[in-house]
Amino acid sequence: MPTAPPPETNEARLVDIARAHVRKFGHARTTVVGVAADAGMTHANVYRYFPSKSALLDEVVASGLRPLEARLRDAADGADPAHDKLERMLIAIHRDYRAKLDDDPAVFDLLIEALAKNRPSARKHRARVQSEMQRVLEEGVASGAFSMTDRRRAMSLIFDAAHRFIHPVALRLDRDAPAGAIATRFEAVLAMMLRALRTGRL
């Protein structure tokens, strides 16, 4: 007999309500009082779970990024060659951010705000992405798949080459460009980047 899913926690419910308010009103006009009212509690009770509006909105950002972070971990843990893993991870980041930009612009703007103000959600997400990339890079160097053995140089190459396609601010600047055209250009950049990693030559 299937087990029932665990009941939603108050924290998760407040985050869901806050996300809905961001979509409806924008993050600047979202208030703890409004979230509390929809949750059927006082705003003082909300502060038992989140010490500030910033902390609550930061969790909206973080919770939206966790599925992508999980996909990156799964890719890094996989059995594929390092260059395939790296390509798949970068494409996953591009597609995830682009989908958020297109389908959930108000929450995407909140992500931009978190990046601009160096919020914990943005810092931790950036560190997790870099950590998974670093793991795959180390694997590629150890296996001989990558001839570029200077780790710092290789990481700089990856993020410099991919910046336009995986940084939320850059993606927002390209919002009006056809997604297919951007994807085609990204594939060309990925091919050049991976070739440089394999050969050790730029």
pLDDT tens digits, one per residue of 159-178 = 999 999 999 999 999 999 98
Cα–Cα distance between 57 and 71 in angstroms, integer?
23
Burial profile 18-35: b = 16 or more Cβ within 10 angstroms, e = fewer? bbebbeeeebeebebebb
The answer to whether residue 38 sits within a structural domain is no
Q: What is the pLDDT of residues 135-153, one digit of tens each?
A: 999 999 999 999 999 999 9
The answer to whether residue 27 sits within a structural domain is no
User: Domain tally for the chain?
Assistant: 1
Cα–Cα distance between 71 and 80 in angstroms, integer?
14
Tokens of 101: 């930009």
The answer to whether residue 103 sits within a structural domain is yes
Look up the CATH number of the domain holding residue 156. 1.10.357.10
- Scan for tokens 């999980």, then name that residue: 70
The answer to whether residue 45 sits within a structural domain is no
- pTM for this structure? 0.92
The answer to whether residue 37 sits within a structural domain is no
Where residue 201 falls among pLDDT bands split at 50, 70, 90? confident
Report the length, in residues, of the chain.
Answer: 202
Residues whose CB falls within 8 Å of the CB of residue 43, separated by 6 or more in sequence, listed in order: 32, 33, 35, 36
The answer to whether residue 31 sits within a structural domain is no
| Residue 166: per-residue pLDDT | 96
The answer to whether residue 191 sits within a structural domain is yes
Angle at 180 (CA atoms; ends 177, 181), nearest 5 degrees: 55
The answer to whether residue 29 sits within a structural domain is no
Cα–Cα distance between 167 and 122 in angstroms, integer?
12
Burial profile 103-117: b = 16 or more Cβ within 10 angstroms, e = fewer? ebeebbbbbbbbbee
Where residue 202 falls among pLDDT bands split at 50, 70, 90? confident
- Which spans in the chain are helix H? 10-25, 32-39, 43-49, 53-77, 82-103, 105-116, 120-143, 151-166, 168-173, 179-199
Q: What is the pLDDT of residues 34-45, one digit of tens each?
A: 999 999 999 999
> Range of 157's domain?
61-199
pLDDT of 4 above 50: no
